[in-house]
Amino acid sequence: MNEFNLSKLNAKVGDNCVFVSNLAVRYQSAATPEERMAMAIKLENAATMLRISAERLATETKDVYGGKN
């Protein structure tokens, strides 16, 4: 992997952060318990995607630039 791919992964992490933030705002403005539950499930899934993307970015960054094991 090279620095260009790291940039793409970094952009993906940033996009996922924005998506999670938008879902959090929608969760706060949900009017009914059903809407809140639906938003909570979407928020949990989006947070998991963000975690996976961030872990991949960390691993790839370590592979490109080196680091301690």
Is 67 inside a domain boundary? no
Closest to 39 in 3D by CA, of 61, 24, 59, 19: 24
The two three-digit tokens of residue 3, written as one number: 């620095």
pLDDT at position 56: 94
* 16-39 tens-digit pLDDT: 999 999 999 999 999 999 999 999
pLDDT at position 69: 61
Residue found by looking up tokens 């933030």 in the block: 21
**Which residues lie closer than 8 Å to 8 by C-beta, 6 or more apart?**
none
Is 66 inside a domain boundary? no
pLDDT at position 1: 59
Question: pTM to 2 decimals?
Answer: 0.82
Is 65 inside a domain boundary? no
Split at pLDDT 50, 70, 90, the class of 66 is confident
Is 13 inside a domain boundary? yes
Is 15 inside a domain boundary? yes
**Whole-angstrom Cα distance, residue 41 to residue 16?**
15
Is 68 inside a domain boundary? no
- The CATH number assigned to the domain holding 20 equals 1.20.58
Domain of residue 53 covers 3-60
Helix, strand, coil % in the chain, rounded to nearest 5 = 85, 0, 15
| Structural domain count, the chain | 1
Is 69 inside a domain boundary? no
